[in-house]
Amino acid sequence: MHMKDGVLAEFTTPEFRNLVAQCIHCGLCLQACPTYDVFGTEMDSPRGRIALMRAASDGRLNGNELHQVFARHINLCLACLACQTACPSGVQYARLIEITKIALERRRRQGLIERVVRWIGLRQAMPHVDQLKALARLLWLYQASGLQHLVRRLNILPAGPLRAAEAILPPILPRKRDYSRPAPAFGKRRGKVAFFYGCIQEAFLGAVNEATIRVLQRNGFEVHFPAGQTCCGAAQLHIGEEALARDLARRNIEAFLADDFDAIIVNAGGCGATLKDEYVGLFRDDPDYAAQARAFSAKVKDISEFLAENLREQPRGIVSLRATYADSCHLRHAQKIVRQPRSLLRLIPGLDLVELRQPDRCCGSAGVYNIVHWETADQVLATKMADIAATGAEVIVITNTGCHMQLNAGVQKAGLNARVMHLVELLELSYQRGEL
């Protein structure tokens, strides 16, 4: 890490200083911030964190102790970007927090256990979906054998990251899908799309991917699965592993640009935000990949965004359920996709859609935040679940992998009689019932 007069080099660039200077300290972001809601402290609000960034840029944070204090408040940020939506001055908080976290991560010394866990999770598991699926099969045995029920009933696991990781484990359904050949359109072929099936979604929430493929087929699209695709790199990037994220991004760009598709479909809001926006930023100074990154990102469409424009077959089967829609932070705040999921849900006959009081609030998932900062995440989740409970919903509709797993855990903790379903699962349910 290059330093000048004790200041990290990343904090002295014209870009960083200009971004920091955009904040006018109005405080309208405070009420939108989940961690400010939990702690009530200025340094755990967006305005406070930007003040810390400015102090770091000005050289007023020197010495290991001050850097550790700075890092603690920065790392407690969920990066949900609700503050960016609320900001009247257009502060690019997403870019600020990205630069800051990467700079701090480069300087921080990791312990042996953390290095091992990161190596396994970020380098060996998530980028290799077959290995992740093998882990999912083992965890399916853990569930099917009744061991999970026993572990949870006896509360065997100590409070901490391991218990937090176990709590968000969704019900796993073994499945086989041949990705070596495209899935043909049902009826008249109207187009050809590529599907980004992800890593965690594919291994642990495969039913969502199946529903996504079938809904696309029903609407006349031939669905392709580029063989070289891998993890989007969001989790790696958001905890400062920029080089690894860039390597994963290159592999995805090359895989998806190898053929000409009408669109690249993604069904997870967090992955979509990374594929659409952050890939361009990762290669902004790379003469070999900058243009390719822009071409790739321009084709990425969230499934709700794509279907809102290309729904050819109306869902006709009656689904008599009360539902509430829990926005993915990165779908709502980063991609600005708010209307489309709701418009699709309103097309489903019989579905009673009830809005949350605070639909823009984070559930506490935020990548691996709910494992690394599990105590804070649990408090954020408790607020979300109280809002959900007040709707009386039987179904919690989501559009993101992390939200799906986190809200599954939330339903269990809150003792709600509700289930979590992806938007496409409800659409597919309506299509199926319409065929009866």
Of all residues in the chain, the percent with pLDDT exceeding 70 is: 94
Amino acid 3: pLDDT: 45
Q: Is 60 exceeded by the pLDDT of residue 308?
A: yes
Domain annotation covers residue 124? no
pLDDT band at 265 (very low <50, low <70, confident <90, very high): very high
Question: 77, 107, 137: which is the final residue of a domain?
Answer: 107
Asked if residue 280 is part of any domain, the answer here is no
- Which range (109-113, 166-170, 187-191, 195-199) has the least confidence? 109-113
Under the banding of pLDDT at 50, 70 and 90, the label for residue 90 is very high
Residue 310 lies in a domain: no
Identify the CA nearest to 99 among candidates 32, 24, 7, 8: 8
Tally the domains of the chain. 2
| Within a domain: 97 | yes
Predicted TM-score (pTM) of the model is 0.92
In the listed set 59, 79, 107, which residue is the last one of a domain according to the structure?
107
Over residues 13-47, the pLDDT tens digits come to: 999 999 999 999 999 999 999 999 999 999 999 99
Please report whether residue 130 resides in a domain: no
pLDDT tens digits, one per residue of 310-367: 999 999 999 999 999 999 999 999 999 999 999 999 999 999 999 999 999 999 998 8
Residue 260 placed within a domain: no
CATH number, domain containing residue 421: 3.40.50.10700
Residue 262 lies in a domain: no
Whether pLDDT at 4 is above 60: no
Domain of residue 429: give its range. Answer: 315-434
- What is residue 49's predicted lDDT score, i.e. its pLDDT? 96
Residue 129 located in a structural domain? no
The last residue of a domain, from among 90, 107, 124? 107
CATH code, domain with 88: 1.10.1060.10
